[in-house]
Structure formats: C-alpha cells, structure tokens
Amino acid sequence: MKNITAVLDYHDRTKHRPYRYAASLGYMDWSTQPNPFRRYLNAPLVPLTFTDITVPYHLLFQDPPLPVAPLCLESLSQLLRYSLGLAAIKSHGGSQWALRCNASSGNLHPTECYLIAPPIEGISDSATLSHYAPKEHALEILQSYDEPLEQGTFYIALSSVLWREAWKYGERCWRYCQLDAGHAYEAIRVSAAVLGWGCELLPIDTAAIATLCGLNQYDRFDPHEHESPDMLIRLIPSSSRSTLPSPPKITFAANRLSPSHHEWPILEVIDTAVQGIYPPSSELLSPRTPPSPSKSAGEIILKRRSAQMMDGSSVTYVQFRQLLDASLFCSDTPDVTFILFVHKVEGLEKGLYAYIRNHGELQSLQKAMDSAFEWEDLNDGLYLLHAGDYRGAAQMISCNQEIAKEGAFSFGMLCNFSKSLETHGCIGYKTLYHHCGRIGQILYLEATSLGLSATGIGCFLDDEFHALLGLKDQRYQSLYHFTIGRAIVDTRISTLPPYRE
C-alpha cells in the first residue's frame, strides 16, 4: 500500500501543468553535465568487429524468422552495434556529439548494458560478465566466471543511471529513464531479429538483476551515479537453456560522470517503490501485415533520427496504417491505446482518432471518454472520435512544441494505468513506460523505413490531454507522446561517421 501511494504521488507530482512544470533546475547547469559514457577504470577492453551487410528490414517481421546465426564475436558485435552503438557523430559550431541507434530523451542516454555470456573465441576462454562501451564499440570485461555457462544462450541486463536524466529534467526524469530503457530493449530485439535470434524478458526480481551485475556493490559508483536495474533479457540464438551464474566480485570502479550533483530525493522513493519481479504480459496482440519491402536493416537503424522540425506536409493513408500496424509487432504491450491528432493524412478527415490496439479495451475506453465522441468505426481498430483541426491542441499539449502540430499526425499513448497496477503491483507502473518506449523505437524505425521521420515527445501536459478526452479519473493515463511526418533537416549540422573502423 505504501508503495502504491508512492507511485501515485510520484505520477501526480511529475505531471506537467500549463502554469507549473514538474520540478527541475529550470536551467542547464553545464558545469555538472554528465558524461554520457560509462567506463570501468582499468577493466580489460575487448574491441568488437564491424559488419555492414544486413538483411532487408521488412524480413525481420516475417514468419518464420530468419535463419539463426551462431553466437560468435562477429554476431555479438553486430547485435550491439545495431542496437546500442553509435549511429553518427554530429558537428556544429565547434562542438560534436554522438547519436546512437536507440533514441533517448535529450540524447542523455541513461541506459547501460551488461552481458553475461559463455566463452566466445576472440572475447574470452571463460564465461564473462562484461559492460558494453558504445563509444569504443568494445566490451569491458568485469568478471571471468570459474563456473561454466552453457554454450548458445546469453543474457543482457539493462540498467539506468538516473542522474544522467535528472541533470536536465529533475523529478520527471525517472519517467524518461524508463521510456529510454524501453527504446533500448526494442533496439536490441530488432537487432537480434536480424541475426534470427529471439529475445525473452525474464520474470526475475530487479534486486536479483542488481546482484547478478554487481550493481549493488555501491562502492563501485559515485553515490549519485549508481545504476538502477531495469530488465534481464535472455537472447536465444539456440534453444539451449543455461543457468545464471553466481554474483560477481567486481574490482573495477565506475568512472565519475559529473564533478558534482543536484539532489532529487523523490527519485530514490519512486525507484525503490517499483522494484520487484518483472511481470510477463497477460495478453498478446496479433501483428498485422508485415511492412513493405525496404532497405537493409542496418541502413535503417543507422539512419533513424529524431526530427527537430517537421514541414507540415502529408503522409498517405497506406503509410499511416502501416505505421499504426507496426506498433503491433510489440505484441506484448496490450495496455497501450493511441489517441491520435490527425492533421494531414491523405484520404482521412482531420480530427481526433483512437487506434484500439487491443480490442478488449474498446468498451472500457468508450465509457471512460467524452460521451459526445462519435466512435465511427474505420476498420482494424481505427475510430474517428471527432472531426476538426486539432493542430493547436496538439502543439499546446506537447508543451507548445511545433513538431506536434507540423507532423502529419501526432498522438498520445494512453495506458490502462489502473489495470497494470492492479495486475502487476507497483512494477506495473515501470513496465508501462517500457512498453511505450518499445513502441516508440519500432515506430521510429518504421517511419525511417517509409522515408518519413518521427520524434518521441516526453514533454506534454498530462491532464490537459486527459481533459480533452473527457477522462475524469486516473484509470487511463497518457505516458508518452509521439509525432510522425516529414522532417526539415538542419543543413548547418554536419554528420560524421561514428567509428573509425
């Protein structure tokens, strides 16, 4: 009960309201800007390899899956490069910054990645725990295990350095860290699919994940920069199963990310409240048509970018439907419905729409939302709620960001908040964000594959959106917003290759 109260309090106090945004510093304290790259001092570094040839993107979504690649240095390197690796270096006005395959709020990249892998030629003769260093595209070996780990299967653990996002976003940052973790997971799932590998989220206690990766050896970290465990993924290159190794004794200290820090005590409260066993999904959605023929998966993954400006032009109805349907490839995310502001989709009236991804939500949403909505059935989950020009509303709700108005459409991911909390307890709050982030990553990729652009929108006025829908209680809450359209590219910013291979 205490934890549920902590979740509800956190959610409420971190809502952005028109005249009061969630608490943050309110300015950028450049003197404490966190290093986006975690390193372990003196840990042996094993360089990974580069491959440029990948299958066409659309083949990832076909059944049966692609042939299974063996687990080796090259396949592991490819998995990491096309999921959490650098995608490009951007340069402007004397400064440079790295972009990665996985999107992250403010490009702050709180998500860290650890691997538990069997012996792999070129990496180690024994089973290892390692940390992925994306800037170097290398593995830092943190521990060699005495015990053997079965060949074939291996594990990836994701964790978040909350401080990286707190630095800019203050109290609301915990939400962004969870969305980012969802993006990272989906980036791994897509990259694994290129290799014919499946991903499975293990129903394991987050405390056990911390133990497994030594995240609870707090003396390794600056006290403000420790990592919170998010999820443990079993990668399944073969059907063999292996048991998890015993806790490591890591002797390498983590690098310090900032010289000093600002305190946000509520982050510890919410993060503690939501620890627990990662819940399996109760229902599965059925994917629809596979995406149409596309470029290579690697090209699309590396080209994915957030649009910073949209040009206000239209997308076709086929593109629109394909984008909505692509979200169903995250089939274990049944509690997320899209409420769309359609501005310029050819053949579709401007207006407010619902895309019901899980038919089981329809009646409950109809009851909860404004009784004046029309719910005109446009097939396959799409309903017109109310025709009209919602561009102004979309911009206002997205913290006045023009991208929400100038995209061909933008939308909120409205989640069955109370159902997730009732079914899974407090960790249901955290996993809902993971689900929204996962959907976001797949939509970014699908948009890129269609020659369009997208941007995740973490900054939105929560209750203004709920009020527009006529929602009167907390049962449904929007946790992530998104816009898709055609980007205006800022030609002043130049792009450099991410690695000197």
Ligand X SMILES: Cc1cc2nc3c(=O)[nH]c(=O)nc-3n(C[C@H](O)[C@H](O)[C@H](O)COP(=O)(O)O)c2cc1C
Interface positions with ligand X (CB under 6 A): 99, 103-107, 176, 179-180, 183, 305-306, 401, 403, 455-459
Between 24 and 242, CB nearer to ligand X:
24
DSSP H or E run through 267: helix 265-273
Residues 6+ apart with CB under 8 A from 18: 461, 464
Q: Which of the 8 DSSP states describes residue 264? A: -
SS3 77: helix
CB of 138 within 8 A of CB of 394?
no
Residues 6+ apart with CB under 8 A from 2: 273
Between 99 and 195, CB nearer to ligand X:
99
State in angstroms the smallest separation of the CB of 297 from ligand X. Answer: 17
State in angstroms the smallest separation of the CB of 200 from ligand X. Answer: 24
State in angstroms the smallest separation of the CB of 184 from ligand X. Answer: 10
Cα-Cα-Cα-Cα dihedral sign, residues 322, 451, 442, 271: negative
Phi-psi region for residue 380, left (φ > 0), alpha (ψ -120 to 50) or beta?
left
| DSSP assignments along 275-343, one per residue | -SBPPPPS--PPP-SPPPS-SBHHHHHHH--B-SSB----B-HHHHHHHHHHGGGSTT-TTEEEEEEES
State in angstroms the smallest separation of the CB of 241 from ligand X. Answer: 33
Between 245 and 498, CB nearer to ligand X:
498
Residue nearest to ligand X (CB): 458
Between 68 and 89, CB nearer to ligand X:
89
State in angstroms the smallest separation of the CB of 387 from ligand X. Answer: 27
Between 404 and 426, CB nearer to ligand X:
404
Between 105 and 258, CB nearer to ligand X:
105
State in angstroms the smallest separation of the CB of 35 from ligand X. Answer: 16
State in angstroms the smallest separation of the CB of 182 from ligand X. Answer: 8
**Residue that has been written with the tokens 């080209």 in this structure:** 303
What is the rounded CA–CA span in Å between residue 193 and residue 60? Answer: 6
Residue 223: other Cβ atoms inside 10 A: 9
Please classify residue 257 by burial: count the beta carbons closer than 10 Å to its beta carbon, then call 0-12 exposed, 13-18 middle and 19+ buried. buried
81, amino acid identity: R
State in angstroms the smallest separation of the CB of 67 from ligand X. Answer: 30
Between 180 and 406, CB nearer to ligand X:
180
Between 180 and 227, CB nearer to ligand X:
180
State in angstroms the smallest separation of the CB of 94 from ligand X. Answer: 19
Q: Which residues of 464-496 are buried (b: 16+ CB within 10 A; e: fewer)?
A: bbbebbebeeeebbbbbbbbbbbbeeeeeeeee
Between 172 and 234, CB nearer to ligand X:
172
Between 258 and 306, CB nearer to ligand X:
306
State in angstroms the smallest separation of the CB of 434 from ligand X. Answer: 11
162-169 vs 265-273: helix axis angle to the nearest 10?
130
How is residue 112 written in tokens? 């860290």
DSSP H or E run through 100: strand 95-100
